[in-house]
Copies of this chain bind each other. A is one copy, B any other.
């Protein structure tokens, strides 16, 4: 019964097969996918079903229809950023990077990283519950996927808490910052993300190599311990064409 409870419709199964073929590299970026006629013949389905299957891939941004030519694998596949599993303690608690959860089959690489101690700026001080001017450890990183910069991340942590940990080093070790915070007795228990969007400032467009007319998504995340202490503020700037953010909310 439970196994039966959501039988997927035919077009969905065909779409899933196409997605697997794309993920396996059978069809690469820019390649033409099988057309409606071919899908009809191969799967013994009606034209409408074949069209729907292809429609799933285009509506999810994995492929694009070119008039009269067919449906082609998009050169750049959006990163599906699933907030619940990526921030779960099972991820970073077992030594995996929260970033690795975003692109299970591809490699999200940090190509620029700098870490330093700075006096905290007013806006961040307020969010970290720190007195103005207090020292923070600032970690600035740029993430690149398939050779394209997709994300700028600036993380602020109270220096009083983390100054003697690997958090002050470019490589923070297995599980990253959150695993190190846990070792310091300051494991995040919950996160709040604030999401906005706007056009990029010139230097942001430059660092993310954004085509004209591409907005950025801003995510401002605070990490809070079980006893309510704010231990990190992370300001992220994302190439909006590269990301879908996914959030699950209970009723």
Contact = CB atoms under 8 A, between A and B. Distances in A.
Interface of A: 1-3, 5-6, 8-9, 11-12, 15-16, 19-20, 23, 48-49, 51-52, 55-56, 59-61, 78, 83-84, 87-89, 114-118, 121-123, 125-126, 129, 131-133, 140, 178, 187-199, 201, 203, 213-217, 227-228, 240-241, 243-251
A59 B248 contact: no
Contacts of A16: 121
Contact of A194 (B188, B217, B245): B245
Contact of A189 (B115, B121, B251): B251
5 A-B pairs closest in CB distance: A2-B116, A215-B215, A197-B197, A59-B123, A197-B240
Nearest to A61: B198
Given A5-B116, A116-B3, A190 B240 contact: no
A49 B132 contact: yes
B56 A193 contact: no
A192 B246 contact: yes
Nearest to A192: B248
Contacts of A189: 250-251
Given A2-B116, A2-B117, A123-B55, A245 B49 contact: no
B241 A213 contact: no
Contacts of A123: 19, 23, 55-56, 59
A124 to B, nearest CB: 9
Nearest to A49: B132
Contacts of A240: 196-198, 215
Contacts of A216: 197
8 contacts: A3-B116, A56-B123, A59-B201, A60-B198, A191-B250, A192-B249, A195-B195, A215-B215
A216 B217 CA distance: 10
Given A114-B2, A116-B1, A247-B247, A126 B11 contact: yes
A190 B249 contact: yes
Contacts of A121: 16
Given A20-B122, A123-B55, A247 B201 contact: no
Contact of A193 (B249, B250, B251): B249
Given A117-B2, A249-B193, A126 B244 contact: no
A123 to B, nearest CB: 4
